[in-house]
A and B are shown apart, each in its own frame.
Chain A
Amino acid sequence: MEDKNQGSASKPTKGITRRSFIRGAGLSTAGSVLLTSNALAFDYKEQATVGKEFGPDAITIKMKVNGIVKSLSVEPRTTLASALRDHLELTGTKVVCDRGSCSACTVYVDGKPVNSCMMSAFDVGEKEVTTIEGIAKNGELHPVQQAFIEHDASQCGYCTPGMVMSCVHLVENNANPDLEDVKNATRGNLCRCGTYPHVFKATLAASKKTI
């Protein structure tokens, strides 16, 4: 359910549990608005979950972030965003709305974009997290990052990490995106400075260089 790909995400077919609702709200804005406004209209089914209980105190967990396994002490209420920012000092991931509506906190979990403010740090488990700090490899920028620089696709820069994550994911998964594809990939990313036109331009330019 953490998959941020639009389309499939906004069509919940099997009813909605509280747990899956919270996870679903970790989707892009378009998805989450749909879910928040229609949530009460869905057939509500609470499912009993079986598992280990944690908390309320912090315990030590392991998390693989940008290829390195890290150990951190977090409470069950700690979000993945907070774990990254406050515990692992990976502050490139930004928290803006803190409710899954703006995609500033986008990271990949097993390669799929998620809103890290809506995901429990405990739920990461064995999965691998990639943050904005892990996009450039061996000091070499990703073509999307390079294109963002060339096309002036950042102003204040606070949305930029999330934008880059959305656009890199697009370019890595679509060999020949058009403008509509770029708009779709960033439809959940809020930029208050209004840098979208240059984000579109940069991503289209980057896609030409990656193939």
Chain B
Amino acid sequence: MDTRKEKFPHGIPGHNLTEIEREIPIEEPPVWPVNDELKVIGKRVTRIDALEKVTGKAKYTSDIKLPGMLYAKMLRSNVPHAVITSIDISKAESLPGVHAIHLIENVRKEGEENNNGKYPMVKYAGQPLGGVAAESLEIAKDAISLIKVNYEEKPFVIDIEAAMELNAPIVFDEPITQQEDGGDVGETHDGSKGEGNVRGPSTSSFFGGPRGDLEEGFKEADVIVERTYRTQVHTHMPLETHGVVVDWNPDHMMVYASTQNTNAVRNEMASIFNLPKSKVRVFCDFMGGGFGAKHSAGSFGPMAANLAKKTGRPVWLMLDRQEEHIAEGNRPNSIQSLKIGARKDGTLTAIQQRSHGTAGVNLGAGVGRIAQILYPCPNFATEQYDVLTNAGPGAAWRAPGNVQGAFGLEQAIDELAEKLEIDPLKYRDLIDKSEVRKVERQRGAKLFDWSRRQAAGSGKGVVKKGLGVGQSTWPRFVTLDSSVEVKIHNDGGVEIRSSVQDIGTGTKTILAQVVAEELGLPVAAITVNIGDTFFPVGPGSGGSVVTGSITPPARNATYEAKKALLKLVAKKWETDSSELFIEDGQVGSKKDAGLKMPFKEATKLMRTSQISKIASRSNDYGGFQQPWGLAYGDLGSVQFAEVSVNTDTGFVRVDKIVAAHSCGRPLNLGQLESQINGGVIQGVSYALYENRVMDNGTGHMMNANVDQYKVPFSMEIPEIETLIVEEYGARSSTDAYGIGEPANIATAAAIANAVYNAIGVRIYEIPITPSSILKALNKVS
């Protein structure tokens, strides 16, 4: 057989840690003990590329300057719905310094009738229509302003509820399919079903479809909570905008991209330009944030390539802040009705969910599956509808769907607890079967001092304090198509190569840690070369898949390379390589403590200048729920919020968040804290501040900038305490998972519950603004 059995740590240290036997592929490395017994894994290792970041030397896509490079700017529609009758580029063409203009045209398929006209129809204000390449960005901008687009304008609809009306202007009169980087993970959004602008519903996902009998379930219920929750559209606003630099060499197309998915961009560009994948090289060393919106080449990628083709010169095309807000993704809004029933003893009997949301001209406005899976309940059904509007397309945004869904579900659970006269935290103990969330509730409540919590609205004075809790779950996604190459060079150098990119979470550093741990070397001895599609394929940075997908291949490849090196040492020492190990930079022997050889000296024994091993990863030890990469288990989190609400001004301040999280085996505590802080702060922002404001009369976004698009700055940052629970699942050679999504899901719900606890009136809509507080308190109408 090609497997062997090993005993793995299993469970939560300090709670239920035990051992479990797993059958694992014979070529994969031996089990790692818990983090306490490891040298660099689970420690506060400093980010290996921090030096470049703090000195300004890190080169992002927007910083790239190539010889002969031209600067490009996109032409965009300034009306939300129209047929383009003509585009006059004559003035722009004759502007000195302009090198090429490319207009996006409808492609006439052979033998097909095409009544769509020369140019694609405009469906939202800001839709890309073309681009200009010029000697400077200023000239490109001037040229854009000289292009005259003639529109035959059509009626349009921006507001979700207006779009749901039967007589609303129709956004698309044909079936549509979801865009490459849009919407929910694992959810089927059918754009062909439905009436008018309302498409769907989506009723099933990889968690299955409806279960049980709702009617029976509600009959059994002693208490029922039925509410409608509303969430806003918010945009990603990564500091570095979307963009590329395309250098179309004679033998291959070189694409420098600010992307969270080099592999997907490579595939899209190859497909669009009919090139073999081997002739497109996508490269991303540093990238300035993505949060879900940067999985695709978009329209800017092909535009830059077309302009490069026309001019024969490299083309720089980065979007500006306004373009980023209006055209490059947002989290869809939601109007969710939730009805939950429970018996007197708290047992859930039925959950019914119905949601509408708009991802503008895209699909993917679901509210996720958190209501289906967070708490066991025998009777469940959901209907999730997409409403099409003439607005910029939505895109995956950190825990798509689930952030919206958690805001509704976790408030409904709180309300249910109150009706049942149980403390909301105790109620979750009762209905939540997750072991890790149980530990998070216990440890979190202690750190937060939950016992301080008073009855809702009972505080005296103008400023009232409130405490709340929210929970979340996120699936353990794994991309099995993930590989790493590890090279040991004969000068003692060690190098990692993969196309996986570092979105800013510290992927480079955890890869170096894994390799360093396996080779018994310091982290600084490892060179990490990633973000290049000429290297073995890595996963996209989305769905919190990266750590679980790419660290096992890194360890597996290192283990193979180490075995090859130790064989050479064994030959020299005339012993068996299985007796040898590497520790603290020295090769040693279990049999003879006197035998020592520095790692660097060992590499001199190599006959070739390098040992190179490429490995991927097996299925999770213990199997898979879905063959394409959904592993057993979830990433459970519990967050506690403390707020102050000024009942005179309506001003809400988040004072403190305690965020208790698990991600399997934690790899780097400092980076995990950073990522959790970020998820929490984005959650605070979602709960209280940010909101895409559209002008329903013109279809334009009103706050497509940084000063009017409200997000928290330093003065709004609460005290954040993170609590990371080690949870061993014995699933892979690293047993580690990501934290990106989980960190962001529960915050808004925890804050909303805390606001209720402060003022005694529930707010069902975010962002919770001073105005919504004063309305809730009946202080303004």
Contact = CB atoms under 8 A, between A and B. Distances in A.
Interface of A: 29-30, 32-33, 36, 75, 77, 85-86, 89-99, 101-102, 104, 131-133, 135-136, 141, 145, 148-161, 164, 182-184, 186-200
B47 A149 contact: yes
Given A152-B674, A158-B240, A93 B713 contact: no
B53 interface: yes
A157 B53 contact: yes
Interface string B252-283: 00000000000000000000000000000000
A159 B286 CA distance: 13
Contacts of A99: 321, 705-707
Nearest to A132: B56
Interface in B675-693: 675, 677-682
Interface stretch (B86-94, B647-655, B714-722): B714-722
B334 interface: no
Contact of B54 (A90, A98, A141): A141
16 contacts: A29-B713, A75-B138, A98-B320, A99-B705, A102-B239, A155-B506, A156-B240, A156-B503, A156-B504, A157-B288, A160-B54, A183-B714, A186-B713, A187-B715, A188-B713, A192-B237
Interface SS, A side: loop
B591 interface: no
B55 A193 contact: no
Nearest to B138: A77
B63 A149 contact: no
A171 B199 CA distance: 56
Nearest to A75: B138
Given A97-B705, A97-B707, A198 B237 contact: no
A157 B55 contact: no
A94 B713 CA distance: 18
Most buried by B among A90, A154, A200: A154
Nearest to A157: B53
A154 B54 contact: yes
Given A91-B63, A158-B288, A198-B673, 5 more contacts: A85-B63, A95-B62, A98-B321, A155-B678, A193-B504
Contacts of B715: 30, 183-184, 187
Contacts of A199: 714
Contacts of B366: none
B291 interface: yes
Nearest to B238: A192
Given A91-B59, A193-B504, A33 B678 contact: no
B419 interface: no
B51 interface: yes
Instruction: List the 5 closest A-B pairs by CB distance, nearest first.
Output: A92-B56, A156-B504, A194-B681, A158-B288, A194-B678
B287 interface: yes
- Interface size class for chain B? 35 or more
Contacts of B714: 182-184, 186-187, 189, 196, 199-200
A152 B50 contact: yes
Interface centre among B51, B137, B291 (most CB of A within 10 A): B51
Interface of B: 44, 46-47, 49-60, 62-63, 65, 136-138, 237-240, 286-289, 291, 320-321, 503-506, 670-671, 673-675, 677-682, 705-707, 711, 713-715, 717, 720
Given A155-B505, A190-B706, A196-B714, A149 B51 contact: yes
B141 to A, nearest CB: 10
Contacts of B47: 149, 152, 154
A133 B238 CA distance: 23
A132 B674 contact: no
B261 to A, nearest CB: 15
B705 A101 contact: yes
A71 B220 CA distance: 81
A197 B60 contact: no
B246 to A, nearest CB: 18
Given A89-B65, A187-B715, A154 B678 contact: no
B291 A192 contact: yes
A132 to B, nearest CB: 3
A195 B54 CA distance: 13
A32 B707 contact: yes
A33 B54 CA distance: 27
Contacts of A194: 677-682
B678 A131 contact: no
A156 B238 contact: yes
Nearest to B291: A192
Contact of A148 (B44, B50, B62): B50
A188 B712 CA distance: 10
Nearest to A197: B677
Given A96-B321, A150-B46, A133 B289 contact: no
A152 B671 contact: yes
Given A91-B63, A150-B46, A196 B705 contact: no
Nearest to A136: B55
A198 B674 contact: yes
B316 to A, nearest CB: 10
A77 B720 CA distance: 43
A89 B59 CA distance: 11
B239 A183 contact: no
Contacts of A153: 54
A156 B55 contact: no
A93 B56 contact: yes
Nearest to B49: A157
A148 B505 CA distance: 15
